[in-house]
Amino acid sequence: MPNKRGHVQAGRRFAVIVQADDLLALSTVVICPTSRSAFPASFHPEVIVADEPTQVLCEMIGAVDARALGERIGHLTHDELRGIEDALLLVLDLP
């Protein structure tokens, strides 16, 4: 089996926090990373981040140390949130 699989972007990147607001006091935060070069897919909803179209990589949902997060740069629209919710329902096979 090869030692290296897939591709992980090095350095800083934007992410969307998908954790419930009531749980934001925890030491970890659930996020979905973003990419400006990911392929279009039903589980890569598009949002605008820093005035640029960006795909949310919902299949890469994960928890990170809250101290590793930078400052908040904005909020998503209702339609963007709905797109992420739909993609997470698909990825996680939730009803």
- Tens digits of per-residue pLDDT, 10-40? 667 899 999 999 999 999 999 999 999 999 9
So what's the architecture of 15-69+79-91 in CATH?
Answer: Roll (2.30)
pLDDT in tens, 66-84: 999 999 999 999 999 999 9
Beta bridge mates, 15: 33
CB 32 within 8 A of CB 60: yes
Q: Find, among 63, 73, 62, 7, the residue nearest to 37 by Cα.
A: 7
Looking at the chain, list the stretches that DSSP marks H as alpha helix, in order from N- to C-terminal side. 78-91
Q: Domain-by-domain residue ranges, the chain?
A: 15-69+79-91
- Rounded Cα gap, residues 69 and 64, in angstroms: 8
